Amino acid sequence: MNKDETNNSSQEWLESLDAVVAAPNHHQVLLETERVRVLDTRIKPGDETPVHTHRWASILYVLSASDFIRFDAIGNAVFDSRTAKANIENGTALSSPPLPPHSVRNVGDGEIRVISIELKD
């Protein structure tokens, strides 16, 4: 990816890569309006999501945490919770910028379950 492809203002957000379209076994819409979309994300131990995007910035509420690795669109590891010292625990609330094409692999023992409130504005 070149610099322009990772810039949110010029990012082409393909509908086919939207989390709900590209990874429907891991993302369920709980609510959607013109201003927000609420997703229930679940990734079982050992499972990996298909490559997908999150077009909007979001607030994340972690219901159950587990170690994970996030990969870019071509499979390079870009984040590993085990080495990042990120201290993500059950009940943690976080904010997240829009995320370009990526996949997530659960490398821990528990299910990852996150409620995300995507802010469309």
pTM listed for this prediction? 0.87
pLDDT single digits (tens) 46-55: 999 999 999 9
9 Cα distance to chain centroid:
19
Complete domains list, the chain, with CATH: 3-119 (2.60.120.10)
Q: Measure the CA–CA gap between 118 and 73, rounded to whole angstroms.
A: 21
Q: Please give the pLDDT value at position 85.
A: 77
Which phi and psi (to 5°) does residue 114 adopt?
-135, 135
CA distances from 32 to 39, 65, 85, 90 (A): 9, 25, 33, 25
